[in-house]
Each structure stands twice: as C-alpha cells, then as structure tokens.
Amino acid sequence: MLHPDIKIIGEDILKNKATSVVDVTPEIYHLIEKMYKVMHEANGIGLAANQIGSDLSIFVTKMRGHNEVFINPTIIEKDNEVLFTEGCLSIPGVRDQTKRFNRVVLTFQTPEDMTYVIREEFEEMCAFVVQHEVDHLNGKLYLDNFNSFRKSVAIKKCNKVLKLLNRR
C-alpha cells in the first residue's frame, strides 16, 4: 500500500545522511509515534525517519512481533553474505534480489535511556531489516547496489506503479 506520508524514490531527503539524535524531546516522541502509525498503515515491517521527511537517525520496526525503535544505529559487524529478495515502502511495486549479510551486530540507543548504548546481534530476516533501515539513514536505497541497467529497469517499473496511483 502506498502511504501519502511516505517519501518516494527521487526525493532528496532519501539521499541524505541522517543527523544524530542528542536528546529525546517531546517532538521526537511524536515523530516515533507517527513512524509507527505510518509503518502499520503501509503494512511495513520497518521505517526510517527520512522516509517520512525527518533527517533524524531513527528507525522503527515490527520485525519481532512488537514495535521497536532504534536511535543512532550503527552496524559494527557483518558476515555471511546471501541473496535476499527485498522491497521498500519508498519504491512501490518493486521487489528484487540484493546482497545482504545474514548476521549483523548493531549499536543503538533507545528513547528510554539515551546515555546507554546497546549492542545487539541480529540474524536472518531481522538482520536484513536492520541493514535496509540503516542504509536509509545513510542516504542509500537498496537499488543503489544495482548496476545502472538493472536500476533503471526497477525505477521504470516503480514509475509505472506511481503513475497508476497518480503519485507522479
């Protein structure tokens, strides 16, 4: 489902590196709640802040059956590269194989205690989701890993879907 609040491929904010969060303010809590709402309404399992127009380094997921928020995430370890068929709420109508790591270690903070940095290992689907969302926060879409021909085919497919939905 294409959600009206989700930024789509070609919009500048999706190309920019996110800004670190220093303090969790009421505005950031409001942003996180909006991110959960948009993610659920769009039937997603993850959403980065820049996908709804914020430049903050935050992503939310529902990859383990409940809402989770990750602030200032950084992948510090990764191994076991595999092929994975991926999609993205910002690239509607396109699913394609990309290379991802089957295991990653992430450091991040949570809104409950910004003084503490958590280090957690993720495997398989959870690892793929984490990599996808961290890429967003680094200004990168999974299509950016494709060669120019493959990327142009994917973008044309996406543009057809967007045209049908009157978004372009």
Contact 73, 48 (CB under 8 A): no
Mark whether 133 is an active-site residue.
yes
The kind and range of the H/E element at 133 are: helix 124-137
Measured on CA atoms in the order 11, 14, 20, 24, is the torsion positive or negative? positive
DSSP state for residue 81 in the 8-state scheme? E
CA atoms within 13 A on the CB side of 35: 30
Q: Catalytic pick from 27, 41, 120, 133?
A: 133
Rounded CA-CA distance 137/57 in Å is 6
Q: Which residue has the tokens 């510090």?
A: 76
Residues acting as catalytic residues: 133
